[in-house]
Amino acid sequence: MESRNSSRRGRLIASAAAALLLAGGITTIGLGLHAEPPVSVGTIAAPSTPSAAASPDPGPNTTPSAGPATTPAPPAAVPPAALDAGLPASVPVRLEVPTIGVDAAVIPLGKQANGEVQTPSGEPGSPAGWYQDSSTPGQTGSAVILGHVNSTTSDIGLFYRLHELSAGQTITVTRADHTAAVFTVDRVDVYHKSTFPTVKVYQNADRPEVRLITCGGYDPATREYLDNTVVYAHLTSSHPA
């Protein structure tokens, strides 16, 4: 446990947990990855509440059909003037942020028995996670999407480059109803955990917005991330996906 390799692994996958205030109460979201059992803080768990986006494919339909199958047409693009009213609810299934190389599946996240919000797997290539008690991306309100800054084997995770985003760049969330909600970044803020403005970050917006959240500010002395990076963006267009 004291070898050089073990020390390096601990440095790469150390992380932190942030206490987040969402509509309806205070919720803890653990974004931590920990190298050494028996450390139990920031446990990574799979979503406990399945959704249509996460359900397995039941396979081809074997029931005889009287005629050829038809595929429903995807919803039409929403006129710009109607965007502030938001899109109908539909769970997210994919997240794309081209400027920082993000193209990943999105899974729903519920709460653990202790009230902490679940987080995606910390394995390499793990998906982003949408907190399913927040708005769906494109609905009026603040949709919360989490991603790890590192992984269990590397210091480069899904949201490793999140801090590089800047105002005017775009985020696209593909939804289960075959619409793509396109958000434009307003700003990127970095907060120290000890002064994290929970109400400012997590209160519901009066228009469709999304928050992308990860850790930052790695401290090699403590092997912890001391900050949180938060990207604020608002809905600017939608189109069939």
Report which residue type is found at 132: Q
Q: What is the pLDDT of residue 16?
A: 31
Q: What is the pLDDT of residue 38?
A: 25
pTM across the whole model: 0.70
Q: What is the pLDDT of residue 138?
A: 98
- Is residue 34 one of the residues assigned to a domain? yes
Residue 180, domain extent: 4-47+75-240
- Is residue 197 one of the residues assigned to a domain? yes
CA 178, 211, 99, 157 dihedral sign is negative
Q: Any idea what the Cα angle at residue 203 is, between residues 22 and 215, rounded to 5°? A: 70
Q: What is the pLDDT of residue 238?
A: 97
- Is residue 104 one of the residues assigned to a domain? yes
Q: One digit per residue, pLDDT tens: the chain, 241 residues?
A: 434 443 344 334 333 333 333 332 323 333 544 333 222 222 222 223 333 333 333 334 433 344 444 445 555 555 555 677 899 999 999 999 999 999 999 999 998 787 767 888 889 999 999 999 999 999 999 999 999 999 999 989 999 999 999 999 999 999 999 999 999 999 999 999 889 888 888 789 999 999 999 999 999 999 899 999 999 999 999 999 9
CA dist 80 → 73, 77, 205 (Å): 21, 9, 18
Count, residues in the chain:
241
- Is residue 68 one of the residues assigned to a domain? no
Q: Are 107 and 54 in contact (CB under 8 A)?
A: yes
Q: What is the pLDDT of residue 73?
A: 53
Q: What is the pLDDT of residue 230?
A: 96
Q: Are 128 and 146 in contact (CB under 8 A)?
A: yes
Q: What is the pLDDT of residue 23?
A: 30
- Is residue 54 one of the residues assigned to a domain? no
Report how far Cα 241 is from the mean position of its chain's Cα atoms.
19
Q: Are 109 and 137 in contact (CB under 8 A)?
A: no
- Is residue 65 one of the residues assigned to a domain? no
Q: Any idea what the Cα angle at residue 89 is, between residues 83 and 91, rounded to 5°? A: 115
CA–CA separation, 47 and 28 (whole Å): 15
- Is residue 52 one of the residues assigned to a domain? no
Q: What is the pLDDT of residue 80?
A: 58
Q: Phi/psi at 58 (nearest 5 deg)? A: -75, -5
Ordered DSSP codes for 163-211: GG--TT-EEEEEETTSEEEEEEEEEEEEEEGGG--HHHHHSPPSSEEEE
Q: What is the pLDDT of residue 51?
A: 33
Q: How many domains does the chain have?
A: 1
Assign residue 221 the CATH number of its domain.
2.40.260.10
- Is residue 64 one of the residues assigned to a domain? no
| Residues contacting 227, CB < 8 A, separation 6+ | 190, 191, 192, 193, 215, 216, 217
